[in-house]
Amino acid sequence: MQKDMLLDFKAEKVVTALKEGKRLDARKVDEYRELKIEKDIYQNAEGSAKVTLGNTEVIAGVKFLLGTPYPDMPNEGTISTGMELIPLASPYFESGPPSTASIEISRVIDRGIRESKAVDFEKLCVKQGEFVFIGFIDMYAINHDGNLFDAGSIAALAALTEAKVPKVEDEKIVKGEYSGKLKLKRKPLLSTFSKIGNTMILDSTLLEETAAQARFSVATTEDNFVSAFQKGLSGSIKKDDVDNAIDVAFKTAKEIRKKL
Amino acid sequence: MATEKEEKKVYVNKKGLRLDGRKIDETRPIKITAGVLKNAKGSCYLEWGQNKVLVSVQGPREALPKHTANPLKALLKFTYRMAAFSVPDRKNPKPGRRDIEISKVCGEALEKSVFLEKYPNSQIEVWAQILDSNAGSRAAALTAASVALADAGIPMKDLVTSVAVGRADGKIIVDLNKDEEDAPDAVDMPIALMSNSKEIVLLQMDGLFSKKEFDEAFEVAVKSIEGIKKLQIKALKEKYESKEFEQASKLSEKALPKQPSNLLEKDLPKQKVDQKTGQKKEEKKAEVQ
Amino acid sequence: MKKIVVPGEIVTEQRKRTGEHVYLQNGKIYSDVIGITDTESMNASVVALKGFYIPKENDIVIGLIAQELFSGFLVDIGSLYLSFLSKDSVREPLKRGSIVSVKVIKVNELNEADVGDTRVFYGGEIFSICSIKIPRVIGKNASMLDALKRGTNCNIIIGRNGRIWAKGGDTELLFRALKKIEKEAHMPNLTNKIGEFLAKERK
């Protein structure tokens, strides 16, 4: 697909401004854009949410299906997470099988949730060794203006906090009936930074991502644990960058959790 | 609520009302908004009953792969996809045969309406993402897609408007919902027209219909489509229509009093002499178009 | 009287000369886009409210060099395809990313353009608006362009393809003024409104 030459041209301005510690939209380097969360918007989903982070928009929906557990974990259900980068969000997203970018975003968001043990997998067990719930978290990018990672992470978590677990009778899901809300043990959130020059900036716009040499995401929990790391792109980061990112992540994720 | 006895459902009762209280010629509530996606040339968000669909238009741009390009006209690629959470039983994201068939017939429906010859060698990509559904999602997708194409400024003959008509309890009904699709004598007939000429650009049918019933269903569809088209037009116009525009449009240009073209003359400093004098010459050349 | 029409809506049932964005069928003239038509005009035509840039001969456009070839360059002019710029017509050094204004020399039936008459620009900002609104940015006798230059003190070069290059002066204010013009291009009295807007917002 034809690259947008204008993006490259404008990205130079990002670099110049950052040399003086400024961002083009006047944000601080550790500041999120305006965040809006709408919950419970799709009736067929067991939980759903739409997140708007600046101009970036992502939707998420949760569906529970019954499945058989792994033989070595007979009393545990699980989750499955995915984000699709669909043409609605950008003229550069094409139809077809998931791109490497979408697979990376999906797996990083999944790791943040899974490793923090936010969802109690034992509570998803319906009949030991036979039936467990698989919680599918499906996300779709609706508008791409950077940081689909964090927008997706917030949307996934918001949908999970709303999710109702279906009632099961005779080893089948009873449509329209629920046994209660899914109670989360932790509320993990991803915070993603772009490294431009020597500066790590939080929540990049598409233009800032275009100028970035490296990307770093960290998932944090409300009790100050880190549940995922991901360094992306072909540049490098320093240990100081990681330390700084973790500190910023703990602080900013706390503020976002208040909105959930 | 699960009942012990299997009660026979009455799809159209003696008062002519359906399960959800609608009359037989009544569609579910429809809400249409054009121009909702910032990264798309044209877009439309449509709610139809429980159905929610978001459509984007990208292009016209170079047709790829190159060997598929048509030197006489643009290709129109329509993709219909359902979000995994848009249906009661989670749908596998991988497109199924139903998705592919619907994409094909909807694309072909739109092709007739667009002046494709204006953009040879290119492709126009329409993406319809269903976010929530309850029967009639393809009519919703197609109706929204036509609005999105108009929103993109792509020249076309007429809008395409779609609805599903059918039968339940022996009566011809408009816009079946999911419960009605399960009626024992159900017929489901999605249809789309360019309503000016009543040209049928999409027609499918599932069920057992007599020719007479089809005739009646077609008339009912035409009437329903008239009403839905008004909503499409309203959605396209509402961004531009305003009291100010209405008042101004009533006066012809000649009637307006002559205004000085530059109110700021007295306020402004003298126009600075351009330091890069080389540029100044070019400026003059560029601005006289 | 001006009114907004959509594709398939009747512009007139009278016999008139046809202009842009209309088609004739069964003796009636219909619009093929969403746009504005003047029912009092002698011509039946529609000015589109949305659209994209298709190159026309003699247009001056703002582009970015996308690729260097043996015999020339490919220029991104924000249209359906990249345009070809022959090396013969280039006097200054160009590379990928260079900002140029070029003139459209030839357009073929596939809407592919050859361009020439290059001028290079350094630095500055490039703003994009819908190409259909460019005549409003220029205005009658360049009145709007004048107002913009005086109100922002910027050097401004306007491309028919919807791209505007600007340098010096208050480019941020220019950006907001351009967005306002784009949004209200169909409204009357716009030049005065923009003049007032610029006077109010100037620091």
**Each residue's pLDDT tens digit in chain A (260 positions)?**
667 889 999 999 999 999 999 999 999 999 999 999 999 999 999 999 999 999 999 999 999 999 999 999 999 999 999 999 999 999 999 989 999 999 999 999 999 999 999 999 999 999 999 999 999 999 999 999 999 999 999 999 999 999 999 999 988 999 989 999 999 999 999 999 999 999 999 999 999 999 999 999 999 999 999 999 999 999 999 999 999 999 999 999 999 999 99
In the predicted structure, residue B243 carries a pLDDT above the cut 80: no
Report the pLDDT value the prediction gives residue B8, as an integer from 0 to 100: 78
Burial of A207 (0-12, 13-18, 19+ CB in 10 A): buried
State the residue range of the domain holding B168. 30-237
Residues 15-44 of C with CB under 8 A from A: none
**A54-68, B252-266, C45-59 — which is least confidently predicted?**
B252-266
Is the Cβ pair B90, A88 closer than 8 Å? no
What mean pLDDT is predicted for residues B85-109? 97
The residue of chain A with its CA nearest to that of B88 is A44
In the predicted structure, residue B257 carries a pLDDT above the cut 60: no
Report the pLDDT value the prediction gives residue B288, as an integer from 0 to 100: 33
Q: How many domains does chain B have?
A: 1
The residue of chain A with its CA nearest to that of B45 is A88
In the predicted structure, residue B268 carries a pLDDT above the cut 60: no
Residue B173 lies in a domain: yes
Residue C201 pLDDT level (bands cut at 50, 70, 90):
confident
What mean pLDDT is predicted for residues C71-75? 95
> B100 — contact with chain A (CB < 8 Å)?
no
Chains touching chain B, criterion 3+ CB pairs below 8 Å: A, C
Residue B255 lies in a domain: no
Residues 118-137 of B with CB under 8 A from A: 125, 127, 129, 131-134
Does this model's pTM top 0.90? My answer is yes
What mean pLDDT is predicted for residues C47-69? 95
In the predicted structure, residue B84 carries a pLDDT above the cut 50: yes
Is the Cβ pair B283, C21 closer than 8 Å? no
What is the identity of the amino acid at C47? V
With H, G, I as helix, E, B as strand and everything else as coil, classify residue C36.
strand
Between CA B65 and CA B74 the distance in angstroms is 13
What mean pLDDT is predicted for residues B17-40? 96
Residue B275 pLDDT level (bands cut at 50, 70, 90):
very low
In the predicted structure, residue C62 carries a pLDDT above the cut 80: yes
DSSP letter string, B71-97: TTS-EEEEEEEE-TTSSSS---SS--H
Asked whether B192 and B184 are in contact (CB, 8 A), the reply is no
Residue of C76, C131, C161 to mutate, interface with A, max A Cβ within 10 Å: C76
Pairing of strands C163-167, C155-158: antiparallel
Residue B6 lies in a domain: no
Residue B212 lies in a domain: yes
B5 or B34, higher pLDDT: B34
Report the pLDDT value the prediction gives residue C100, as an integer from 0 to 100: 96
Kindly report, residue by residue over C3-24, the tens digit of the pLDDT. Answer: 999 999 999 999 999 999 999 9
Kindly report, residue by residue over A44-77, the tens digit of the pLDDT. Answer: 999 999 999 999 999 999 999 999 999 999 999 9
Report the pLDDT value the prediction gives residue C144, as an integer from 0 to 100: 93
Pairing of strands C22-25, A35-39: unpaired
**B1-10, B124-133, C104-113 — which is least confidently predicted?**
B1-10
Report the pLDDT value the prediction gives residue B260, as an integer from 0 to 100: 39
What mean pLDDT is predicted for residues B270-286? 40
> C189 — contact with chain B (CB < 8 Å)?
yes
DSSP letter string, C89-150: G--S---TT-EEEEEEEEE-TTS-EEEEEEEEE-S-EEEE--GGGHHHHH-GGGHHHHHHHH
Torsion from C-alpha of B69, B70, B72, B77, nearest 10 degrees: -90
Residue B183 pLDDT level (bands cut at 50, 70, 90):
confident
Gap from A138 CA to chain B (nearest CA, Å): 7
In the predicted structure, residue B253 carries a pLDDT above the cut 70: no
Report the pLDDT value the prediction gives residue B269, as an integer from 0 to 100: 39
In the predicted structure, residue B249 carries a pLDDT above the cut 80: no
Residue B269 lies in a domain: no
Chains touching chain C, criterion 3+ CB pairs below 8 Å: A, B
Nearest Cα neighbor of B154 from B112, B120, B114 is B114
Asked whether C101 and C131 are in contact (CB, 8 A), the reply is no
Kindly report, residue by residue over C85-142, the tens digit of the pLDDT. Answer: 999 888 889 999 999 999 999 999 999 999 999 999 999 999 999 999 999 999 989 9
Residue B282 lies in a domain: no
Is the Cβ pair C30, B262 closer than 8 Å? no
Report the pLDDT value the prediction gives residue B226, as an integer from 0 to 100: 97
**A135-149, B142-156, B265-279, C52-66 — which is least confidently predicted?**
B265-279
Is the Cβ pair C76, A2 closer than 8 Å? yes
- Element containing residue B4 per DSSP (H, E): none
Residue of B240, B267, B277, B281 to mutate, interface with C, max C Cβ within 10 Å: B240
Asked whether A185 and A174 are in contact (CB, 8 A), the reply is no
Q: Which two tokens stand for residue C23?
A: 């088609």
With H, G, I as helix, E, B as strand and everything else as coil, classify residue B55.
strand
Three state DSSP letters for chain A? CCCCHHHHHHHHHHHHHHHCCCCCCCCCCCCCCCEEEEECCCCCCCEEEEEEECCEEEEEEEEEEEECCCCCCCCCCEEEEEEEECCCCCCCCCCCCCCHHHHHHHHHHHHHHHHCCCECHHHHEEECCCEEEEEEEEEEEEECCCCHHHHHHHHHHHHHHHCEEEEEECCEEEEEEEEEECCECCCCEEEEEEEECCEEEECCCHHHHHHCCEEEEEEECCCCCEEEEEEECCCCCCHHHHHHHHHHHHHHHHHHHHCC
In the predicted structure, residue B285 carries a pLDDT above the cut 80: no
Nearest Cα neighbor of B125 from B77, B81, B179, B82 is B77
Residue C34 pLDDT level (bands cut at 50, 70, 90):
very high
- Among B56, B88, B134, beta carbon nearest to A88: B56
User: Is the domain A5-258 a CATH 3.40.190.10 member?
Assistant: no
Report the pLDDT value the prediction gives residue B277, as an integer from 0 to 100: 42
Report the pLDDT value the prediction gives residue B254, as an integer from 0 to 100: 45
- Domains of chain C with bracketed CATH: 2-48 (2.40.50.100), 60-121 (2.40.50.140), 125-201 (3.30.1370.10)
Residue B274 pLDDT level (bands cut at 50, 70, 90):
very low
With H, G, I as helix, E, B as strand and everything else as coil, classify residue B178.
helix
**B3-17, B220-234, C79-93 — which is least confidently predicted?**
B3-17
The residue of chain A with its CA nearest to that of B52 is A42
What mean pLDDT is predicted for residues B53-62? 96
In the predicted structure, residue B197 carries a pLDDT above the cut 80: yes
